[in-house]
Structure 1
Amino acid sequence: MFDALAERLEDAWKKLRGQDKISQANIQDALKEVRRALLAADVNLQVVKAFVKEVETKATGAEVISGVRPDQQFIKIVHDELVDVMGETNAPLAEADNPPTIILMAGLQGTGKTTATAKLALFLQKQKRSCLMVATDVYRPAAIDQLITLGKQIKVPVFEMGSDANPVEIARQGVAQATEQGIDTVIVDTAGRLQIDADMMGELAQIKKAVQPHDTLLVVDAMTGQEAANLTRTFHEEIGITGAILTKMDGDSRGGAALSVRSISGKPIKFVGVGEKVEALQPFYPDRIASRILGMGDVLTLVEKAQEEIDMADAAQMQAKILEARFDFNDFLKQMRLLKNMGSLGGVLKLIPGMNKLSGADLEKGEVELKRTEAMINSMTKQERENPDLLAKSPPRRRRVANGSGRLERDVSELVTKFTRMRGMMKQMGQGGMPGMGGGMPGMEGMFGGGAPQAGFRGYSGGGKKKAKKPRRKKKGFGDL
């Protein structure tokens, strides 16, 4: 969602490249570009004015550190101000001294409030907290059924009394049941409206008074831009909220909501929804978001995603197989599926520093190559996956795999050749050697269209015969993570 903003800010840095210091004169063009970038991202005008003024004050008074270029120092100042505007640190959920902790979910229709309720329940469940979801939306058709279905999917119970019951009474009895059963957290899903009205606010106020929530979270659609900030302020003034959840952060939003909510409403963004899947909810970290906006990646989030999917026992076993050159196509397929579970290829790569320059076409090509590789592996027999040499020695086997996957025989031959070469290189690397890295990982050849970012993928770039080159210092890239 921050791609357009990041590209516009690139123009600001260019204004200072080649300068020997930051001055009142040379900073003006850069500040104009920052202002344009933020306005184009639909950031609230008041926030933009205050942001630019603060950056100007800090930049003109900054001493350029020896060895640091003026544009680099300016980026650091903008980064720090972005973090400040968005809230400096992550705002965690409240936790009651005497369970259950009660969380009230509010918002307009269409923002993904019911789905966000289930996402939050799953997030807390992963933290070893037991949850109960309470369905009080008796107005929207199938809202209760939707929450029950989501509850079954994530194995979290749902308390409901049907669509004829009073929402306030449903909430009260749901909390009472959670208390009796010793449940840690109750999440109350409330009804939304197409727009703010007196009935909506009145009912929310009654539910809040009845259950005394420890957190009242407003679910807002990031696609609404700065209007999300105005909505958050209105809800806070009417019923009192403690934070917001921004949904659809993986969509075409320009980023204005994330940069405006805290300043306009005074309340923090606590979580962001980054996809339709029930697992797609992340805590909001201002420093990480600022790094993404400025093209610095987000390695901490990448590591956390990997930790959720990787079993440490499996990782140790995989390491042993790599060192002994026993890594086979089954293992490779498992790694590809692990990558898929972490999210889209584009979403994962953009968390890696330097990968923000990849174009949509490059990422699409990469997705296609991975699918083709997976199709070829799925067309192999169990014995062929475990022993790639069978395919290397048998043209009929390669033809059968090619026919089964809709590829050419040479595609299968190339896959097997690269895989065998990669397995040998992995073994040598484990033994302290550093062989030539030509050939790359199977299925990755040319996936980024030969662009500059490809160089960052140590061991992942294209194959084919290449002229010998003089040794050079290796660059850090995807293979170094």
Structure 2
Amino acid sequence: MVLSGLGKSLSGAVNRILSRGPIDKQAILELKNEILRALLEADINFNLASQMAENLHQRALTEKPPMGISRKDAMVNIVYEELTSIMGGTAYSLDIQKKRVNILMMIGIQGSGKTTTIGKLAKFLKHDRWNVGLVCTDTWRPGALDQLKQLGDKVGVETFGIPEEKNAVKIASKGIKHLTDAGKNIIIVDTAGRHKEEKDLLKEMVKLDKKVKPDEIILVIDGTLGQSAFNQAKAFAQTTNIGSIIVTKLDGTAKGGGAISAAAATGAPIKFIGLGEDITELEKFDPKGFASRILGLGDITGIIDQVERAQIMPDEDRARAMMKGNVSYNDMLDLFKSMGKFGGIRKLLDKLPGGLSHNVDDNMLATSKESMKDFQNIILSMTNDERDAIIKLNRSRIDRIAMGAGVTSDKVRELVKQKQVSEKWIKQMMKTGKRRGKKGQAGLPFNMMDM
């Protein structure tokens, strides 16, 4: 999970302090210190981390829990609100309008995932019915235009570039005119990746800004950079007017706090985050939902948005049957297809309340895309009765299905076991949900209960 270590540390700190009994000034001071340590370990900027820890300390000393709210839930709520605050407080949209040609200029250091992110953003915007075009002005990196064109072709948008031209400003001007004449209402300009010490490239960026006059400049920050992301972001902010930030590679790091806190160096909000290599794995950034996810409290709004984008249409009758623990292989086939759209089981569980991805064993969630593909082939090699789970799979059936799917019989047995585990897990979750439903929504911040 994104920053799962931070989530475990913050939740663990609150639980340890509150499990001791009465909360006194010394306990609150210890909580402050533990939370500061957890934030710094996640590479949150020192000043931001100190500010959050001090705010939490003062609020814990002075605020009384609202009537009917436990001391633990009140403390979790303070952590949630302060974590939300240091990440920007609220969600922001791109500065784009339907009645004009919108120009977005993408900047960032080389290797930040900027070009890949442009492909993701183009797909995201195309899904929202924008007519998108791309312009490559990177004349420094070999293969830059080819890479962008491949991404553009993949998502179905036009890419403009002039291979023999070395003047980035000329390419940008011609590209914008060409794509405007072609009826595009969003033009994304890719620029050369640059480092804060590369003065010539920074000057080129300034020239592009003056000539192109973008409606928004988007800084792409590598989520694995850690604390150095702050200085990089600051250098870009001193050179040009950054309107928003996209943080990439947050799926592969426990140190993403450095990139998140780098937003403070620019004064610009984070508007999107990249959580994987797939072209669909770009999400709108909502500080409230993200903070909730880090603390294991879920991100229901994020799930709804992703379901809509993935165009997953659940069948009500089958959903009711599954909630009773009756899972067919057809259900599993649909599940595997849906997981691909969600970016994997782990990323779905990240957004469910209860901290499921914190608590479920990694091996259980490590079903790779290859395994899911094998499982789909196995199910497609079954008869209709077998897929509906009307007939139990004996040894001869397993061997026949394995031969048809081109896998081993053990792989088929693995799928059978997955089905049994899924049925058992759903029944257990439904029982747990009924018990919790009688007691209320313990664990959710009280200002989220109506979400």
Classify the TM-score, shorter chain: 0.7 to 0.9
For residues 369-388 of structure 1, what are the structure 2 equivalents within 5 Å?
A: 373-374=375-376, 376-381=378-383, 383-384=384-385, 388=389
Amino acid at match of 1:360: D
Aligned to 1:407: 409
**Residue number in structure 2 paired with 1:443:** 418
Change (3 A) 1:185 1:59: same
The one-letter amino acid paired with 1:352 is: L
TM-score (norm 1): 0.80
Q: Report the residue type matching 1:92 in the other structure.
A: S
Larger Cα Rg: Structure 1 or Structure 2? Answer: 1
In 2, distance between residues paired with 1:444 and 1:395? 17
Aligned to 2:38: 37
Q: Report the residue type matching 1:91 in the other structure.
A: Y
- What residue is the counterpart of 2:64 in the other structure? 63
Structure 1 position 322, deviation (Å) = 8.5
The reply to whether residue 348 of structure 1 matches residue 348 of structure 2 is yes
- How far apart in 2 are the matches of 1:472 and 1:87? 35
Q: Give the whole-Å Cα distance in 2 for the aligned partners of 1:368 and 1:160.
A: 36
Are the equivalent residues in 1 in contact too, given 2:137–2:161 (CA < 8 A)? yes
Distance 1:398 1:384, change over 3 A: farther
Query: C-alpha offsets along residues 398-450 of structure 1, whole Å, 9 cap, x if unaligned?
Result: 442255542259949x94xxxxxxxxxxxxxxxxxxxxxxxxxx724447xxx
Amino acid at match of 1:458: I
Shift of 1:12: 1.4
- Structure 2 letter corresponding to 1:379: S
Contact 1:218 1:245 in 2 (8 A): yes
What CA deviation, in whole Å up to 9, does each residue of 1:267-288 have, x standing for no partner? Answer: 1111111111111111111001
Give CA deviations for 1:67-115 in whole Å, capped at 9, x if unaligned: 4332321111111011111111112100247521010000111011111
Task: Give the distance between the partners of 2:361 and 2:393, measured in 1 at CA.
Answer: 39
Alignment CA distance shift 1:377-1:85 (3 Å) = same
Q: How does 1:126-141 map to 2 (within 5 A)?
A: 126-141=127-142
Deviation at 1:23, TM superposition (A): 4.0
What is the DSSP-based 3-state SS (H/G/I as helix, E as strand, rest coil) of the residue aligned with 1:103?
Answer: strand
Matches of residues 176-187 of structure 1 in structure 2 within 5 Å?
176-187=177-188
Letter in 2 for 1:401: I
Is residue 402–residue 411 contact of structure 1 (8 Å, CA) maintained in 2?
Answer: no
Structure 2: distance between partners of 1:285 and 1:339: 22
After TM superposition, give the deviation of residue 16 of structure 1 in Å: 2.9
2:51 pairs with 1:50: yes
Q: Which runs of 5+ in 2 are unaligned?
A: 438-451
Following superposition of structure 1 onto structure 2, how do residues 163-202 of structure 1 map, counting pairs within 5 Å?
A: 163-202=164-203
SS at match of 2:37: helix
Q: Does 1:151 align with 2:156?
A: no
Distance in 2 separating the partners of 1:175 and 1:47: 39
Match of 2:248 in 1: 247
| Counterpart check, 1:474 vs 2:449 | no
1: CA distance, partners of 2:242 / 2:213: 12
- Residue 216 of structure 1: CA displacement? 0.3
Q: What is the CA-CA distance between 1:50 and the residue it aligns to? A: 1.1
Distance (Å, rounded) in 1 between the aligned partners of 2:76 and 2:362: 25
8 Å contact 2:10–2:38 — kept in the other structure? yes
Over the residues paired in the alignment, what is the CA RMSD in angstroms?
Answer: 3.2
Amino acid at match of 2:426: R
Q: How do residues 84-233 of structure 1 correspond to structure 2 at under 5 angstroms?
A: 84-96=85-97, 98-233=99-234
Alignment of 1:249-268 (within 5 A): 249-268=250-269
Alignment of 1:237-316 (within 5 A): 237-312=238-313, 315=315
SS at match of 2:351: coil
Alignment of 1:362 onto 2:364 = yes
CA distance in 1, matches of 2:65, 2:312: 46
Name the aligned partner's letter for residue 443 of structure 1: Q
Aligned to 2:427: 459
CA shift in 2, pair 1:254/1:315, >3 Å: same
Equivalent residues of 2:379, 2:387 under 8 A apart: no
Q: Residue 272 of structure 1: SS of its match in structure 2? A: strand
Q: Distance in 1 between matches of 2:11 and 2:321?
A: 43
Greater shift, 178-187 or 121-130, is seen at: 178-187
Q: Distance in 1 between matches of 2:333 and 2:351?
A: 22
Secondary structure of 1:186's aligned partner: strand
8 Å contact from structure 2 (residues 87, 287) kept in 1: yes
Aligned residues: 429
Deviation at 1:302, TM superposition (A): 1.8
- Checking the alignment, whether the CA contact within 8 Å between 2:329 and 2:419 is kept in structure 1 is no
Distance 1:60 1:320 in 2: 47
Cα 1:140/1:242, change in 2 over 3 Å: same
1:98 and 1:367 map into 2 onto residues whose CA distance is 41
Partner of 2:336: 336
Question: Aligned equivalents of 1:393 and 1:258: distance in 2?
Answer: 50
Identity across matched positions, percent: 29
CA deviations over 1:240-272 (Å, ceiling 9, x no partner): 211111010111242313541233321111111
Query: What is the alpha-carbon distance in structure 2 between the residues aligned to residue 369 and residue 69 of structure 1?
Result: 44
Deviation at 1:308, TM superposition (A): 2.1
Deviates more, 1:88-97 or 1:394-403: 394-403
Amino acid at match of 1:336: F
C-alpha spacing 1:410/1:276, structure 2 compared with 1 (3 Å) = closer
> Would you say the 8 A contact 2:247–2:260 is kept in 1?
no
AA paired with 2:91? N
- How far did 1:353 drift? 1.3
CA distance, structure 1, for counterparts of residue 234 and residue 80 of structure 2: 25
Specify the code of the residue in structure 2 equivalent to 1:334: D
SS of aligned partner of 1:42:
coil
**CA distance in 2 between partners of 1:114 and 1:52 (Å):** 37
| 1:142-166 deviation per Cα after TM superposition (whole angstroms, max 9, x unaligned) | 0000011111110000111114341
Question: Separation in 2 of the partners of 1:338 and 1:385?
Answer: 21
- Verify the 8 A CA contact 1:227 1:257 in the aligned structure 2: yes
Query: Could you state the TM-score of these two structures normalised by the residue count of structure 2?
Result: 0.85
Partners of 2:362 and 2:411 in 1: how far apart?
29
